[in-house]
Structure 1
């Protein structure tokens, strides 16, 4: 046994049925040249115990699907993960996740596997996607030994790319909801925030097509170019 094997966390041992389902998850592909309308998108929001990428824990998952140019309300996902011996901070209570709800939550391995079955091979959209991508990836590795490889696109970047006239600096989801005058009746839980993000994204897809962005791959490329320009030093 090498020295480095001691540093790697042991892979979780899963019941046979979960392991079989895990092995049947579809292979992940990169973004394609299909139209934005044809692509099935999973819009994700997570609630966590806090914002520390390495210490805080995933508490709940909310997701909806955009397909064929609309939110498909027949495809929604919501799970609270069981988390024992957890000290809850004020941010958790804001999301309406009290100790009893978390204690009665789903087994994390089961819930995470069900979510990845829901996602399939679809790309993921999220507001502040790098945070959600990291927290989800960490939980998947811990509970399933699964490496997250799905493409994630950040709605917090897509919005200013397509709407520079908004003149926002680091705007949050609430600011974009207000700017587009969206009627959102519930916020600050995973499912409601995923739905609000999906409604915002429908408007942004329309803006993308007006700006000759017609495919997921094209959108990713334009985002990369926009981010490089923002990060370039000005003289």
Structure 2
């Protein structure tokens, strides 16, 4: 209910009616799992440097439909961030402009529900560029895998400590590890977590 009210007012700010379909209800069993790599962890001052996304349909990651983009940041890459994602300024010499990438990303995700780990941060980063461009924030339903995992575990061990770290969730669910801190690989691993949890517990 709250999301519907929020989107009612959100849609009024849409600058281009061509994108009104973003506010329509998703009609099929498809999700988009995505991840962003950034220059740092402060959405107010840091920029996106890469976005990776995959489509999930019928408990399957659709490998033929993927989104991988590198973005040229306006702010300087922080040393701590480079240690995590290993993306250097020289790796972004041929990266694209965020204003172009954000539109391509929106067209890729459509009105599908969004899945991610630490998803609130990624959505905040996307909204940083989307709001000035189209006047809106992402209207899509958001599904945070750490919350789904928590709800799953709390049923099994109501009084126990639940480790919500990404690596711990991966290990507990026996998900194979790919190269980490690459936006696309992180999106695939998160998608695998979601699919497994989706079949362990009812997700509407």
TM-score for the superposition, normalised by structure 2 = 0.82
CA distance in 2, matches of 1:69, 1:43: 12
- Do the aligned residues in 1 keep the contact of 2:67 with 2:105 (CA within 8 Å)? yes
Conserved? CA contact 1:88–1:99, under 8 Å: no
Which is further off, 108-117 or 166-175? 166-175
Matched, 1:180 2:182: no
Whether the 8 Å contact between 1:82 and 1:106 is mirrored in structure 2 is yes
3-state DSSP class of the match of 2:178? Answer: coil
Say if 2:40 and 2:77, in contact at 8 Å, map to a contact too: no
Moved more, 157-166 or 84-93: 84-93
- Whether contact under 8 Å (1:83, 1:103) holds in the other structure is no
Query: Is structure 2 residue 182 aligned with structure 1 residue 192?
Result: no
Once the two structures are TM-superposed, the CA of residue 197 in structure 1 deviates from its matched residue by: 0.2
**Aligned twin of 2:18:** 24
Largest Rg, 1 or 2: 1
Gaps of 5+ in 2: 1-14
2:153 equivalent in structure 1: 163
1:50 correspondence with 2:44? no
Q: Secondary structure at the match of 1:74?
A: strand
Residue aligning to 1:83 = 73
Q: Number of aligned pairs?
A: 186
Distance 1:86 1:196, change over 3 A: same
Q: Are 2:47 and 2:74, in contact at CA under 8 Å, matched by a contact in 1?
A: no
TM-score with structure 1 setting the length: 0.71
Which sections of structure 1, spanning at least 5 residues, go unmatched? 1-18, 217-235
4+ residue runs over 6 A deviation: none
